[in-house]
């Protein structure tokens, strides 16, 4: 009887990022997070801005947000072992953003390759009183192929946020490649709303599509898992109940934020199905920003 021939099981090895090659810098690591914020394992996040100037405090590496949940994430990134300076900067940047935009929920996030025991204990202690999250990143190589797994190692507190969106040039061709279902839904909405916004048109940037009316972005659309997209509408206190009543009657599920925004997760098909309700909703929406 022939002995069973076993294939050698590939063994992964961890590589310090800055020793993996010249291109693997801290800026490169930031690029990976900005291009795909979900790799931080903190949820379905959107990129907001990078290297944000903090008055007298330096620059915040990355600002992310969870639009649906009204959460902001102030992210500091470093290669190698974390240290006290980066811990303090992370908390300072978080505090600055929280003071500037107090209506939103904020989380301080420190990303590093390693957390020495002493600093791990310090971060864990801080995280019991402020929303400080530690995320460990490693570069792993298997059979010559590199990967970049992230893992949340400290997150023990959540507490009871606004910032301008970046305007990174990004056209419809790029959206056709990256999220064609969101582009389709945005075009469907523009066509549906011709009776309300005859001059409405798409304004595409890298991290969202807006519907522009008379030179102003009025409706924001973010991609979600195929085939859904997230639509963001703002209403005055006075008109918000009327908008919610329209949605309730049509049995359209919505989320309301602290800033009087209504968020709808829909696709092109559901927009067409509820066309009459969407038109009436946007009539109320138009009145909100005309008052």
Amino acid 160: pLDDT? 38
Per-residue pLDDT reduced to its tens digit, 51-106? 887 655 678 999 999 877 778 999 999 898 888 888 888 888 888 888 777 777 88
In whole angstroms, give the CA distance from residue 227 to residue 64: 23
Say yes or no: domain 172-290 is CATH 3.90.1150. Answer: yes
Domain 13-154, what fold?
Answer: Trna Endonuclease; Chain: A, domain 1 (3.40.1350)
Would you kindly state where each structural domain of the chain is located, as residue ranges? Answer: 13-154, 172-290
Mean predicted confidence (pLDDT) in 178-186: 94
pTM: 0.55
Give the strand order in the sheet containing 71-77: 46-54, 58-66, 71-77, 105-112, 132-137, 150-154
Report CA-CA distances (Å) from 94 to 53, 120, 282: 13, 19, 35
């Amino acid at each position: 009887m022939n002995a069973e021939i076993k294939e050698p099981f590939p063994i992964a090895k961890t590589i310090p990022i800055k020793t993996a090659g010249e291109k693997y810098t801290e800026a490169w690591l930031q690029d990976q997070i900005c291009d795909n914020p979900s790799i931080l394992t903190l949820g379905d996040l959107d990129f907001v801005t990078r290297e944000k100037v903090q008055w007298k405090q330096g620059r915040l590496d990355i600002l992310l947000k969870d639009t649906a949940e009204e959460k902001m994430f102030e992210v500091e990134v470093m290669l190698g072992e974390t240290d006290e300076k980066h811990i303090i900067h992370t908390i300072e940047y978080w505090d600055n953003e929280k003071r500037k935009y107090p209506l939103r929920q904020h989380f301080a996030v420190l990303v590093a390759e390693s957390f020495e025991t002493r600093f791990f204990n310090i971060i864990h202690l801080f995280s019991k009183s402020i929303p400080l999250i530690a995320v460990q990143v490693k570069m792993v190589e298997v059979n010559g192929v590199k990967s970049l797994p992230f893992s949340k190692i400290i997150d023990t507190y959540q507490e009871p946020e606004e910032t301008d969106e970046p305007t990174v040039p990004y056209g419809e061709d790029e959206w056709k490649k990256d999220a064609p279902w969101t582009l389709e839904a945005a075009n469907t909405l523009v066509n549906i709303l011709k009776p309300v916004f005859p001059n409405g048109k798409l304004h595409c940037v890298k991290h969202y599509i807006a519907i522009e009316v008379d030179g102003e972005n009025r409706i924001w659309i973010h991609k979600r898992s195929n085939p859904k997209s997230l639509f963001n509408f703002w209403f005055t206190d006075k008109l918000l109940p009327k908008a919610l009543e329209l949605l309730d009657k049509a049995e359209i599920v919505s989320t309301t934020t602290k800033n009087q925004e209504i968020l709808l997760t829909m696709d092109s098909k559901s927009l067409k199905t509820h066309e009459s309700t969407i038109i009436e909703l946007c009539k109320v929406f138009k009145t909100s920003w005309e008052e």
